[in-house]
Amino acid sequence: MLTEETVNRARHLLSIGNAVEAARQLMGVAEQAHLVDRDYDEAMFLLAQAFSQANMLRAAATVLLYLQRSSDMQRIAVNTTPIDLARSFLCGQRPDPREAAKHYRTANWPAHAAISYERAEDYPAARALWEEVSGDPRLRTDPYVAALVSFNLGRVLQKLGDDSAAHRCRVRAMRLLEEAADVLETRGLRDRAFDCFQVLLTLGVETGSFENLAEGYVNCVRILREDHLKHYALQYYEDFITKAEAAGEFHAAATMLHEAADYARAVGLTFHGALRVREAQAWEKAAQAILGNGGAGELAENAYLAAIGAYSSAGMHGNAVGTFRTLASIGLEESRTKRYQRLAERYSDARNEQGSMPRLPDYLTQPVKYPDIWNDDVIEWESAGDAVETCGQILLDTTLPSFVRRRALVARLQPLTHSSPQHPQALAALGEKLGQVQVYQVLAPLELLYEHPAPQVRAAVLRAAQMLFFKRTFVVINKGVVDQDPTVRSNARDAVARLHFPHAFDPLSRLHRDSVDPEVRRAALTSIGKVQTLEAVDYLIGVLSHGTGDDRRAAYELLERTDFPDAAKAIAQAIEREQGDVQRLLVQLRQRRGDR
């Protein structure tokens, strides 16, 4: 009812020529991200009319972009900026990426233009623009973006049939990705290094280079395991194994299945036996491939022996004995053939263990969908942390939830409707509204805002960070905890205390280990205590066992309160390996928790 009253009042204000007041009242409706689409969209169309009458054309174009009213936006955007005009051709039911590319080019955004030309399948134009971007001097000090540009250029050259030039671009992209990954990991930015390896594995998929594919997947799995994201790690294992088998690379598939089974068992997942059986089958296929290609019998023998070991580990003793029989028939030297015959006869009554073996959950067998990082991160780079343009890109994406796009609409309107958008108070308000959008893309403008000299702006960025559950959020938090301003530091500590999700364990543990501020260390340890992973519990046990003073007391209390299912098992294992006072303290902890 309140919304309806506001809309009716705004209509009246527009009818008497008071568009500014009508827009002010409708902005209150814009912030109500929970409204049903019909009511919200009706109010927003009226808001666009109010902005238009008040000659606030970029604000009007923004609302029309949210509403995906392409024609209406074009009529207004022709008098705003080429970027707005470009986006007006990308929204709505019938996007025209070729026309959008022309206006991006006018705006001196060649990467955006190249992506739009690719979408329009105008590959010669896309090639010219990617070549232009590759000459940008800023790329000399940014190997990651340089790699993405080279990767994109290589894809376009492949489309144009220029295979040799495409190959050169991809080799360069591979070299730059490896260089960038090393630099990023050294700086502690493993999430960005992960992006490098995702592009590398995509390069392997597109070129048929199994070496690139394997390097990308192996490093993605490594980073996911180091970040204690076991289910994501197993998804990547499964995806790589599927691709390896499809490529006939059974040795690689078997090796990864062995590693995946060991990992699943180590983290307490019950389906490790199913992975072990698949490992055995992959070793058998590897042996058959070796023999089929005329390879050495000794190599096939090694593969079959690995299969026997895998079958035995899974309790499939009958299958293991059957593999001994196979080994006796592949034409090895007489002494080994007789040995395998004897083993098959000796254990001929062996049977597979009874009982059902838990299989992999369906979600682990679904193909991993990789985001278009090679486009998304180049777009971020070219947007250069501009909050208005970042929110404009979010508004273009109709696959995002309505509440995300509505909050992006409000955030973008903040500077477009403010009389002094660069005033610290306005920038602080913008920072907080960006946090409410709660998507990864807003981190780049927040990182730029954090560089502002006014403490109130930096403090607002850290308040926004509390709502952004991404590992990259710790880029600004790590700066905030050592900021010279006490309010900024306080907000940074608050963010540390509120961000306790699995991806956060690594940066939280770094903060706890490395910070010289006892309050930061306390906040980090408290958050670790709320992370629902075995690694977090093990970390707390380590602090309890080997820490000092306040840290030990805090770890004890956190372990006493944690409801993580495997905490009791981890504490029991720690009791077995510790001794003396530490062991007695752990026993007391177990008793207070009521563990059996």
Higher-pLDDT residue of 582, 424: 424
Total H helices, total E strands in the chain: 34, 0
Of 179, 139, 173, give the one whose Cα is nearest residue 381: 139
- Kindly tell me if the per-residue pLDDT of 1 is higher than 70: no
Of 333, 311, 250, 261, give the one whose Cα is nearest residue 324: 311
Q: Are 394 and 437 in contact (CB under 8 A)?
A: yes
Q: Is 481 left (phi over 0), alpha (psi -120 to 50) or beta?
A: alpha
Most confident of 304-318, 324-338, 448-462: 448-462
Q: Rounded distance, CA 21 to CA 27, Å? A: 10
Q: Which two tokens stand for residue 60?
A: 């009007």
- On whether residue 225 sits in a domain, the answer given is no
pLDDT score at 4:
87
Q: How far apart are the first and last CA of the chain?
A: 57
pLDDT score at 491:
97
Sign, CA torsion 395/398/404/409 = positive
| Long-range own/partner contacts, residues 186-192 (CB < 8 A, 24 or more apart) | 188/507, 188/510, 189/472, 189/475, 190/223, 190/226, 190/227, 190/471, 190/506, 191/470, 191/471, 191/472, 191/503, 192/144, 192/472
Q: Rounded distance, CA 353 to CA 350, Å? A: 9
pLDDT band at 350 (very low <50, low <70, confident <90, very high): confident
Residue-wise pLDDT tens digits, 495-540: 999 999 888 998 999 999 999 999 999 999 999 999 988 888 989 9
Average pLDDT score over residue span 37-57: 95
Q: Is residue 54 helix, strand or coil?
A: coil
- Kindly tell me if the per-residue pLDDT of 331 is higher than 70: yes
Contacts of 353 (CB under 8 A, 6+ apart): 315, 316, 317
Residue-wise pLDDT tens digits, 263-285: 998 877 888 999 999 999 999 99
Q: Rounded distance, CA 568 to CA 537, Å? A: 10
Average pLDDT score over residue span 546-573: 89
pLDDT score at 66:
98
Average pLDDT score over residue span 568-578: 86
| Long-range own/partner contacts, residues 373-376 (CB < 8 A, 24 or more apart) | 373/148, 373/195, 373/198, 373/199, 374/148, 374/151, 374/152, 374/199, 374/202, 375/115, 375/152
- On whether residue 415 sits in a domain, the answer given is yes
pLDDT band at 14 (very low <50, low <70, confident <90, very high): very high
Residue-wise pLDDT tens digits, 69-81: 999 999 999 999 9
Which of 84, 108, 132 finishes a domain? 108
Q: Which two tokens stand for residue 336?
A: 């080994």
Average pLDDT score over residue span 401-412: 97
Q: Domain range spanning residue 31? A: 2-108
Which of 92, 108, 124 finishes a domain? 108
pLDDT score at 139:
95
Predicted model pTM: 0.85
Average pLDDT score over residue span 378-407: 96
- On whether residue 84 sits in a domain, the answer given is yes
Which of 51, 78, 108 finishes a domain? 108
3-state secondary structure 72-115: HHHHHHCCCCHHHHHHHCCCCCCCCHHHHHHHHHHCCCHHHHHH
Q: Are 464 and 434 in contact (CB under 8 A)?
A: yes
pLDDT band at 119 (very low <50, low <70, confident <90, very high): very high
- Kindly tell me if the per-residue pLDDT of 228 is higher than 80: no
pLDDT score at 525:
96
- On whether residue 520 sits in a domain, the answer given is yes
pLDDT score at 370:
74
What rounded mean pLDDT belongs to the chain?
A: 92
- The fraction of the chain above a pLDDT of 70, given in percent, is 100
- On whether residue 363 sits in a domain, the answer given is no
Domain of 88, CATH number, reads 1.25.40
Instruction: Identify the weakest region by mean pLDDT among 224-228, 272-276, 301-305, 360-364.
Output: 360-364
- Kindly tell me if the per-residue pLDDT of 354 is higher than 80: no
- On whether residue 228 sits in a domain, the answer given is no
pLDDT score at 565:
85
- Kindly tell me if the per-residue pLDDT of 82 is higher than 90: yes
Domain of 414, CATH number, reads 1.25.10.10
pLDDT score at 131:
97
DSSP secondary structure of 136-198:
-GGGGG-HHHHHHHHHHHHHHHHHTT-HHHHHHHHHHHHHHHHHHHHHHHHTT-HHHHHHHHH
- Spell out a b/e string for 424-441, using b for 16 or more CB atoms within 10 Å of the CB, else e: bebbbbbbbbbbbbbbbb
Q: Which two tokens stand for residue 498?
A: 């509120």
Q: Are 181 and 197 in contact (CB under 8 A)?
A: yes
Could you give the C-alpha distances from 539 to 527, 529, 534, 564, in angstroms and in order? 12, 9, 9, 13
Looking up tokens 């004897």 gives 342
Domain count across the chain? 2
- On whether residue 375 sits in a domain, the answer given is no
DSSP state of 403: H
- On whether residue 114 sits in a domain, the answer given is no
- The fraction of the chain above a pLDDT of 90, given in percent, is 75
Looking up tokens 């392997």 gives 204
pLDDT score at 146:
96
Most confident of 260-274, 310-324, 364-378, 451-465: 451-465
- Kindly tell me if the per-residue pLDDT of 231 is higher than 90: no
Average pLDDT score over residue span 144-171: 94
- Kindly tell me if the per-residue pLDDT of 63 is higher than 90: yes
pLDDT score at 372:
82
**Amino acid identity, residue 354?**
Q
